A and B are shown apart, each in its own frame.
Chain A
Amino acid sequence: AQKITQTQPGMFVQEKEAVTLDCTYDTSDQSYGLFWYKQPSSGEMIFLIYQGSYDEQNATEGRYSLNFQKARKSANLVISASQLGDSAMYFCAMTRPNRGSYIPTFGRGTSLIVHP
C-alpha cells in the first residue's frame, strides 16, 4: 500500500528565511508523481509543485523547490525567502497508477507559521 509520511506536525520560521518541510513516501510502483499543496485557513487547496518519478532534475516553481531523493524515497519542499502569507498547512501527496488514472494519497500535513 502507498503511504506518505510528514513527520513535522508544526514548523516555525522567521520571515525571509528558508524552511524545509519533510515528506517521505513508500511505494512499489516505478511510475508515480509527487505533489505539494498549500491549504490556508480558508480551506482551499492550492497546487505548489510537481515532481515525476522519472524526472532527474529537482522541480522548481518560483520560491518553491522540491528536493527529490529517489533512493531515500523523500520529496522535501523547500520554501525560500518565507513570507507571512506562507503561513498555512502544507500537504505532500503521491499519485499511484490505477486502471489508467492516477489516484492521490495525501500525508497528514505540516502546519507552517511564519513570524515577522
Chain B
Amino acid sequence: GAGVSQSPRYKVAKRGQDVALRCDPISGHVSLFWYQQALGQGPEFLTYFQNEAQLDKSGLPSDRFFAERPEGSVSTLKIQRTQQEDSAVYLCASSLGLGGGQSEQFFGPGTRLTVL
C-alpha cells in the first residue's frame, strides 16, 4: 500500500516568499505530525492533528508558520515571508492511533526547503 507522501520533495524560495508544503498521510490514519529537521539534528516537533483538529501547535516557531488539515486527510504546512533560518527538511508523519503514545509513526520522505 502507499506510504506517506510529501510534495514537493525540494523547494527553493527567495527570502520573503510564501511556500506551501503538502502531506498525504496513509489513508485512515487519525494522527498527523509535522516536524522540522535542521542539518545534523533530530526532528523537532511543529504541530499535531487528530483528524481535522489541530490539537497542538506549540512547536511552530513563529506566526509565519500555519498548518491545516481541513478534511482530516491531506495536510498543508504554509510558511509566510520565508527567512533563511527556515531552511530545513520538513517531515510529515502519520499514525493509526491517537497521538504518538504507543503508535508507530510512518514518515514521509520530507520536503527540503532552501531559502536564499
**Hey, which bits of chain A sit against chain B, CB under 8 A?**
4, 33, 35, 37, 42-47, 50, 52, 91, 93, 95, 97-109
**Hey, which bits of chain B sit against chain A, CB under 8 A?**
31, 33, 35, 40-45, 48, 50, 55-56, 58-59, 89, 91, 93, 98-102, 104-110
Given contacts A44-B110, A107-B42, A108-B40, 18 further A-B contacts (CB under 8 A): A33-B102, A35-B104, A43-B110, A44-B108, A52-B102, A91-B42, A93-B42, A95-B99, A95-B100, A97-B101, A99-B55, A101-B48, A103-B58, A104-B100, A105-B45, A106-B42, A108-B41, A109-B42
Q: How far is the CB of B46 from chain A (nearest CB, A)?
A: 10
Chain A residues near B33: list those with CB within 8 A. 104
Decide: B43 and A33 in contact? CB cutoff 8 A.
no
Q: Which residue in chain A gives the minimum CB-CB distance to B109?
A: A44
Decide: A50 and B31 in contact? CB cutoff 8 A.
no
From known contacts A43-B89, A106-B43, infer whether A33 and B101 are also in contact, taking CB-CB under 8 Å.
yes
Other-chain contact of A103, B40, B42, B45, B109 (Cβ < 8 Å): B45
Q: How far is the CA of A102 from the CA of B99 in the complex (A)?
A: 5
Q: How far is the CA of A40 from the CA of B108 in the complex (A)?
A: 13
Chain B residues near A4: list those with CB within 8 A. 42
Decide: A50 and B104 in contact? CB cutoff 8 A.
yes
Other-chain contact of A45, B91, B99, B102 (Cβ < 8 Å): B91
Q: How far is the CB of A93 from chain B (nearest CB, A)?
A: 8
Decide: B105 and A103 in contact? CB cutoff 8 A.
no
